[in-house]
Amino acid sequence: MTAVIPPSKSRQLRACLLCGLIQSSNDFRFNGCPNCEDILQLKDSADRVMTCTSTYFEGMIAGIDPENSWVLRWQRTSKYVRGMYAVRVRGRVPEDVEAELESRGIKYRPRDLSLDQD
Amino acid sequence: MSDVEDHGYDNYDQEGDERHEENEEDVENDDTNDEPPRRKLYEDDDDEDEEEEEEEQTGRKEKKRAKHRHKRDRAARFLDIEAEVSDEDEEEEDDEEYGVDGFIETGGAEDDDSSRRHHARLARRQMEEEEKSPEQIARDLNQRYGGRAAVRYTGDMNEIPQRLLMPSVHDASLWQVRVKPGREREIVFSLMRKSIDLEYTARPLQILSAFQRDSLPGMIYVEARSSQQVSQAVNGLVGVYPSRGIHLVPIEEMASLLQIKKQDTTVTPGTWVRIRRGQYAGDLAQVVDITENGEEVGLKFIPRIDLTPRDDGGDKKRKKTAGMRPPQRLFNFEEVVKVYGRNYVSKRGPAFVFQGDTFKDGFIEKDFKINALILEDVNPTLDEITQFSRRQDGLEENMVDLSIIAEASRKAAISVLQPGDHVEVFEGESAGVHGIVEEIAQDVVTISPVGVELEGQKVELPARSVRKRFKPGDHVKVMTGKNADETGLVVSVTDNVVTFLSDMSMQEVSVFSKDLREAAEVGSGTNVVGDYELHDLVQLDLQTVGVIFKTERDSFRVLDQNGQVRMVQPHQISMRRDSNRAIATDSEGHELRVNDNMKEVDGEGRKGRVLHIHQSFHAFLHNRDITENGGVFVTRARSLVSLAPKGNPLKLAPGADLSKMNPAIQPQGGMVGSGMGRGPRDRHIGASVLVIKGPHKGYQGTIKDTNGQVARVELNTGNKLISIDKSKLYRKLANGKTEPLDAPSFNRGPRNGNMDPPLSLPNGNRNSNPYAAAGGRTPGWGGGRTPNPHANSSATPAWNSSSRTPNPYAGSATPAWNASSRTPNPYAGGQTPAWSASSRTPNPYASGGATPGRNHSASSGGWGGATPGRNTSWGGDGWKSPERSGWGSDVWNAPTPAASAATPAASAPTPAAFAPTPGAYAYSSSMSAPTPGVVPNTPGVMDYEDSAREPYSPPDDWLLDDRIAPHQTKLRVFIQGSVMPPYLDGAYEDRTAVVVGTTRVRENFEQTAFLRFDDDGEERSILSRYIKPVLPKSQDEAALVICGRRKGEMVRIRQKPDSQETIEMVVVESIGSAGAAYWECQKDHMCAVVG
């Protein structure tokens, strides 16, 4: 499955704080994040989109073949949909999402490269 | 994988998996579509199993739909009615509606219609799996489906440490591709879309990923198995430069490409930022709060409210664009209300709302996007910060808010710490401890404290909580900021603000301690002040130039050409002079240029590199080893000798015609370095020519310019300039004949006749070194039979004009000089032995230089007529007379008759007749300008230009004249005019005295001088207006010039004055600094001196 590839010149590009997927804010609002929708529940919630995605990202990856790509494995997105990903996204998900992740036993890894030391 | 986890996400699983499988299938088998029926067979079996399981497990409403589908599929198994496209629709439906699936195995791969296509492969796989061990099967299954649940956020990969994700040799490689800077993102996007577009074509892209980093402009990285795949992928994309190479990224560098992270610019409340755009662009602001995702920050800063809004209300747009932005000013409720009216401002709690902005404590508080802010290099100045802190609230008015300043200097402080720095801890548990920095590791400094308890231990501290420590008395240097390079002595330290007394300006300067360093040196590191730089040659006043040898904060030290050191401010410098092209002559007659390494032949024998040459006479040199005056010293060019042997005199001037450089006719013997920087003018320029070939054949014209072999010819007809090869031109001679342009001929024209032998002359003629030419050592001169003056006069307009004249003298054995000089008589003797004799004299300039001058005046017609006496003596046998030949050796024997000849002239009734004389001298002075010793005499003569022999009576305060005063105690004076009206009963009238001293008195008082009278030794003061100079009377008497340009110069009378006339001209010799020079001076322009 492939995420919607936004037009590259769009100013409204946002990156998902959880998986780093880049979409336009409208796409996030209409379709949610194809990877993280069940947790973030972005669909139809502009607020949610604002808090769980960020315009402050850097480095764009064209994830063409995530399953076989080392780049996407390194980014821990190889199991996700094809699409554009950010190398780095600034910011953390809201606390309720962190709590949700914790309750599911998922380790939260912010995408701002702050945990790369290990 | 557990049930729970799977719950509800299978729609993603399915789709992802399907897509994945489809891909594989596509790759494997491009003609899948040919065999759908066979596939269905397999599919049905699966479907049935699946269906049952599904029903059992879930029992949800999807069941119904599933069943419905199932049925449809059953029918479809016999009918291949579904078009390929419909798959997509179905898939989407699935996505939306299939929520739950219990088992992994049934998770979606087996979902009915959408999975049809890979059943063929599944069958194959089943076959294979039957041969596998159960463990193997289990593992495979895990591998295959384990990840499927991941198309939803499971974070299962989050547990893996990053290091285990390092690339291995089995991974595809990264390839660096050069792209147009600024288009990296677009290209990555294009690759993404291209790969999707080409996915189902015969030639899908085989790259796995591509990415771009903002910190690596101009390149993208593509993940692929081979560079060929990369070039295939990027082929056709605009802005990609595969031709610049597709480089393999070494495996160990792959990870770091993705790890690059900009220096973290974390924003925390209290951080200083600057606003990037808009009305507040560049303004400092402080962060108040930050939104959760860190995208927006609340800022507090000083508002700019327009308190003088224009009245043209409605036209908001114009108002915004036009005009300046209002100044920074704290929000003041009353002010704003007064201007805008009460309705526009509302109060909400402690804050005001005005025009949609919130104002609190006078500051505006506003949210900004983080990328509308400048986070790095904010460098708030102390002024800006105090503006904030002072206005923070009324209570802390005078307190400089520590935390604010500390914060401001904190970040920078980390980077400016050096091992060995003396620091103190100002926060945290060890606050107050001070010590010396031992080592710095990122943000942690290790200090060895100096103190009682902790002595000897080493303490690790965050770098941000230490600051440099200075104490009064330290000598410090400012490292950054507007006071950079200032040094001084610390006078006080308040927290991290250090106040020191500048070494240079002697003023107190306050700076942050982070910007300081202890330093021993004094002075500024800068070499540039204003527009001037160290070692510039600058004009100080009309007569004085100097070289900057030291720069200070806002002034220079300059060594002038007299060797004096001056302190100058930039505004006192009138201009910078360029001496790059200046040339002088060294002691061996060689050329001397800027940047030559030279050595003094006399004096201290200093060596140095020539920085500048001034008027071909003074040379400024620089030698690092000399400490005095920063290694700069000034000396006469004539006393220098080159350290290196002079190079090839055949140095080719740019644009020079090789044919002119024929060695056979090169000057020999000492004409070193005569090749000039400027190429000689092409001798063909100005020639009248005839075009003999090409479309313009038959046209006549004049060569205006040449460039190598191409000449630009102005045609006589049509006023047209054409460029044409020289070989197509023939010279047109005055007699109507033509000849090749380069034909060697003596009869060619005025110039060539003149410059015989012609080819060497461009060199000699344009030599900047008149000595060499004047010395007549060039064979060219010998052969030329042309007397000396030609060399010099080559620069005079007369020469040019004569050279351009048509050729009436062609073939004449007499040099063209005669012609141009237009004086028939005296210079007909150009070939007389007298001339050659004088040209060989050591001081050829005295004669050679002066001669054309006289000649010049002669041509003006004034000379011959006005001074008949002189005329006869010169024009007649003067040149052949023994006195004349003696000129060079004993110059001032010769002028005697001349001077005396002047005497009758002076008494001539027509003063106008005299005017040409100074003219003549003036001319000679300009001619001989480079000759020291001769130069000084001429201006002196020129002094008489206007004063033309009128008795001179010095002003009352002549003793106090700036140039006379230094010599005043030697002056011999007498008293005159004290009889009528009586002054001191006229007792001192006519008595001579020596000046003891005088100083200027205040206004309204009569000036006096203290004199000692010769006869009785009485000393008393006398009113200055009665004091007159004693005129020198005898030969060899010393005198001081008291009038004219050479006022203040000591001279010695070299000619016995033979009349009582005070206006008599006598020959004097300058003594002292100006060097020996002879000149004529009117007697009453001098004052006799003692001794």
**CATH number of the domain that residue A18 is part of:** 3.30.40.210
From B268, B191, B200, select the one nearest B229 (Cα to Cα): B191
pLDDT at B114: 46
Distance CA B18, CA B227 (A): 29
Please give the pLDDT value at position A21: 92
pLDDT digits (tens, 9 = 90+) for B898-935: 333 333 333 333 333 333 333 334 333 333 333 333 33
Q: Which residues contact A9 (CB under 8 A, 6 or more apart)?
A: B186
Contact assignment for B259 to A116 by CB distance below 8 Å = yes
Average pLDDT value for residue range B934-961: 57
In sign, the C-alpha dihedral spanning B216, B217, B218, B221 is positive
Q: What is the mean pLDDT of residues B787-812?
A: 40
Predicted pLDDT of residue B718: 76
Q: Is-contact B459 B430, C-beta < 8 A?
A: yes
Task: Provide the pLDDT for residue B859.
Answer: 36
Contact between B153 and A74 using a beta-carbon 8 Å cutoff: no
DSSP secondary structure letter of residue B971: B
Residue A85 lies in a domain: yes
Q: Which carries the bigger pLDDT value, residue B299 or residue B929?
A: B299
Tens of pLDDT, residues B435-459: 888 888 767 888 888 776 666 777 8
- B23 burial level (CB within 10 Å; 0-12, 13-18, 19+): middle
The lowest-confidence range among B32-41, B711-720, B927-936 is: B927-936
Question: Residues of A with CB below 8 A from B442's CB?
Answer: none
Residues A98, A51 contacting (CB under 8 angstroms): no
Q: Is the ipTM of this complex over 0.90?
A: yes
d(CA B999, CA B1010): 9
For residues B743 and B858, the model is more confident at B743
Q: What is the largest CA-CA distance in chain B?
A: 157
Across the range B67-90, mean pLDDT stands at 49
* Burial class (CB within 10 angstroms; exposed 0-12, middle 13-18, buried 19+) of B115: buried
Helix (H, G, I), strand (E, B) or coil at A40: helix
Residue B559 pLDDT greater than 60, yes or no: yes
d(CA B968, CA B963): 9
Please give the average per-residue pLDDT across B837-844, as a whole number. Answer: 39
What's the confidence (pLDDT) of residue B176? 93
B471-525: same fold as B417-461?
A: yes
Q: For residue B866, is pLDDT > 60?
A: no
Do B189 and A5 count as a contact with CB atoms less than 8 A apart? yes
| Residues of chain B neighbouring A34 (CB-CB closer than 8 A) | 12, 151
From chain A, pick out residues whose CB is under 8 angstroms from the CB of B167.
70, 74
Instruction: Tell me the sheet residues that pair with B580.
Output: none
Question: For residue A5, is it within any domain?
Answer: no
User: Quick one: pLDDT at residue B438?
Assistant: 84
- What was the pLDDT predicted at B53? 45
Tell me which DSSP letter residue B325 carries. Answer: P
Strand order in the sheet with B497-502: B508-512, B497-502, B487-494, B475-478, B516-518
Q: Give the mean pLDDT of B659-664.
A: 50
B823 or B581: which leads in pLDDT: B581
Closest CA to B1037 of B1014, B1063, B1067, B1060: B1067
Instruction: Please tell me which residue of chain A has the smallest CA distance to B371.
Output: A56
The stretch B265-291 carries a mean pLDDT of: 83
pLDDT at A62: 93
In a domain, A113, yes or no: no
Chain A CB contacts of B210 below 8 Å = 61-62, 64
The first and second tokens of residue B15, run together, are 């789709």
CB within 8 Å: B155 and A8: no
Peptide bond connecting B380 to the previous residue in cis, omega within 30 degrees of 0: no
**Any A CB within 8 A of B160 CB:** yes
Domains in chain A: how many in total?
Answer: 1
What are the residue ranges of helices labelled H in B198-242?
227-234
DSSP type of residue A82: B
Q: Tell me which residue in B153, B165, B207 faces A18 most closely, judged by beta carbons.
A: B153
pLDDT value at residue B550: 78
Q: Choosing among B176, B197, B208, which should be mutated to test the A contact, i.e. which has the most A CBs within 10 A?
A: B208
Interface test with A, best of B2, B12, B152, B153 (most A CBs within 10 A): B153
CA distance B335 to B342: 10
B616, B641 Cβ separation under 8 angstroms: no
Which chain A residue has its CA at the smallest distance from B208's CA? A65
pLDDT > 70? residue B653: no
- Quick one: pLDDT at residue B175? 93
Query: Residue B188's pLDDT band (boundaries 50, 70, 90)?
Result: very high
Angle formed by the axes of helices B382-390 and B402-416, to 10°?
160
Residue B76, token pair as written in the block: 């479809």
| B182 reaches A (C-beta below 8 A) | no
Whether residue A5 and residue B196 make contact (CB cut-off 8 A), yes or no, is yes
What is residue B329's three-state secondary structure?
Answer: coil
What is the average per-residue pLDDT within B817-827? Answer: 41
Q: What's the pLDDT score for residue B830?
A: 38
Query: For residue B510, what pLDDT band results from cuts at 50, 70 and 90?
Result: confident
Q: Which of B47-61, B111-125, B570-584, B979-993 has the lowest mean pLDDT?
A: B47-61
- Which residue out of A5, A8, A64, A106 would a mutagenesis test of the B interface target, given it has the greatest number of B Cβ atoms within 10 Å? A64
B209 shares contact with chain A (CB less than 8 Å): yes
The two tokens of residue A49 are 């989109």
Tell me the residue ranges of DSSP E strands in B459-507.
459-462, 466-468, 475-478, 487-494, 497-502
Chain B residues with beta carbon closer than 8 angstroms to that of A22 = none
Nearest Cα neighbor of B855 from B893, B819, B897, B883 is B819
Those residues whose C-beta lies under 8 Å from the C-beta of residue B218, and which sit 6 or more positions away, are: B178, B179, B180, B181, B184
Separation CA B765–CA B678 (nearest Å): 13
Confidence of residue B949 (pLDDT cuts 50, 70, 90): low
List the single best residue of A48, A70, A115 to mutate versus B (max B Cβ within 10 A).
A70
Q: What is the DSSP letter of B1030?
A: P
- Which of the four pLDDT bands, split at 50, 70 and 90, describes residue B998? confident
CB-based burial of residue B135 (10 Å sphere; 0-12 exposed, 13-18 middle, 19+ buried)?
exposed
CB–CB contact B157 A78 (8 Å): yes
Question: Which of these ranges, B36-40, B169-173, B195-199, B704-708, has the smallest mean pLDDT?
Answer: B36-40
Model confidence pLDDT, tens digit, residues B149-161: 445 566 667 777 7
Which of B115, B209, B212 is best to mutate for the A interface (most A CBs within 10 A)? Answer: B209
pLDDT at B153: 64
pLDDT of residue A19 exceeding 80, the answer is: yes
Q: What is the DSSP string of B876-931?
A: IIITTSHHHHTTTTSTTTTHHHHHHHHHHHHHSS-GGGGTHHHHHHHHHHHHTTT-
Cross-chain residue pair A106–B262, CB shorter than 8 Å: no
Chain A partners of B209 at a C-beta cutoff of 8 Å? 61-66, 69, 71-72
pLDDT value at B777 more than 60: no
Peptide bond into B757 cis (omega under 30): yes
- pLDDT at position B878 is 36
Q: Identify the DSSP state of A59.
A: E
A32 to chain B: closest CA residue: B152
Question: Is A62–B192 a contact, with Cβ atoms under 8 angstroms apart?
Answer: yes
Residue B258 has its nearest CB partner, among A35, A36, A71, at A71
Percentage of residues of chain B with pLDDT beyond 70 = 55
Do B519 and B477 form a contact (C-beta atoms < 8 A)? yes
Contact B174 A17 (CB under 8 A): no
pLDDT above 80: residue B824? no
Domain that holds residue A84: 13-103
pLDDT at site A110: 85
Question: Which among A5, A73, A80 is the nearest to B193, CB-wise?
Answer: A5
What distances in angstroms separate CA B135 from CA B124, B125, B148, one per listed residue?
Answer: 19, 16, 20
Tell me which chain A residues have a C-beta less than 8 angstroms from the C-beta of B248.
Answer: none
Nearest residue of B to residue A53 by CA position? B293
Cα–Cα distances in angstroms (integers) from residue A105 to residues A102, B3, B154, in the given order: 5, 14, 9
| pLDDT of B1038 higher than 60 | yes
C-alpha–C-alpha distance, residues B1062 and B245, integer Å: 94
- Please state the domain extents for chain B: 3-159, 163-259, 272-396, 417-461, 471-525, 528-642
What is the maximum alpha-carbon separation in chain A? 38
Tell me the average pLDDT across B738-754: 54
Q: Please list, in sequence order, all residues whose beta carbon lies within 8 angstroms of the beta carbon of residue B323, skipping any fewer than 6 positions away.
A: none
pLDDT of A63 strictly over 60: yes
Check: CB of residue B943 under 8 Å from CB of residue B1046: yes
CA–CA separation, B416 vs B652, rounded Å?
Answer: 54
Least confident of B181-195, B261-275, B625-639, B950-964: B261-275
CB contact under 8 A, A56 and B294: yes
* Domain B471-525, classified CATH 2.30.30.30, yes or no: yes
* Best CATH choice for the domain B163-259 from the list 3.40.50.2300, 3.30.70.940, 3.30.565.10, 3.40.50.720: 3.30.70.940
Beta carbons within 8 Å of B705's beta carbon, 6+ residues apart: B682, B685, B711, B712
Q: Which residues 681-720 of chain B have a CB within 8 Å of chain A?
A: none
In this prediction, residue B400 has a pLDDT band, given cuts at 50, 70 and 90, of: very low
- Supply the mean pLDDT for chain B: 67
User: What is the spatial distance between Cα B851 and Cα B923, in angstroms, rounded to a whole number?
Assistant: 9
Q: How confident is the model at residue B886 (pLDDT cuts 50, 70, 90)?
A: very low
Rounded to whole angstroms, how far apart are CA atoms B892 and B170?
103
The answer to whether position A20 is within a domain reads yes
Q: Token digits for B765?
A: 């003629």
In the block, which residue shows the tokens 């404290």? B449
B495-505 confidence digits (pLDDT tens): 778 888 877 66
Q: Does B152 touch chain A (CB under 8 A)?
A: yes
How far is residue B228 from each of residues B84, B116, B168, B175, B194, measured CA to CA in Å?
A: 32, 34, 21, 10, 16
How far is the C-alpha of B1076 from the C-alpha of B147, rounded, in Å? 106
Say whether domain B417-461 belongs to CATH 2.30.30.30.
yes
Q: Considering only CA atoms, which of B1001, B1010, B1056 is closest in space to residue B1033?
A: B1056
Q: In whole angstroms, what is the distance from residue A20 CA to residue A39 CA?
A: 14
Residue B496 CA to residue B1009 CA, distance in Å, equals 64
Among A3-17, B400-414, B888-902, B946-960, which range has the highest average pLDDT? A3-17
Answer yes or no: is A78 within a domain: yes
Nearest C-alpha of chain B: how many angstroms from A26? 18
Residue A108 domain flag? no
In chain A, whose CA is at the least distance from the CA of B6? A38
Contact A1 B207 (CB under 8 A): no
Q: Burial of B114 by CB count in 10 Å (0-12 exposed, 13-18 middle, 19+ buried)?
A: buried
Q: What is the DSSP string of B638-653?
A: GGEEESS----TTPPP
Indicate yes or no: CB of B212 within 8 angstroms of CB of A60.
yes
Average pLDDT rounded to a whole number, residues B596-621: 87
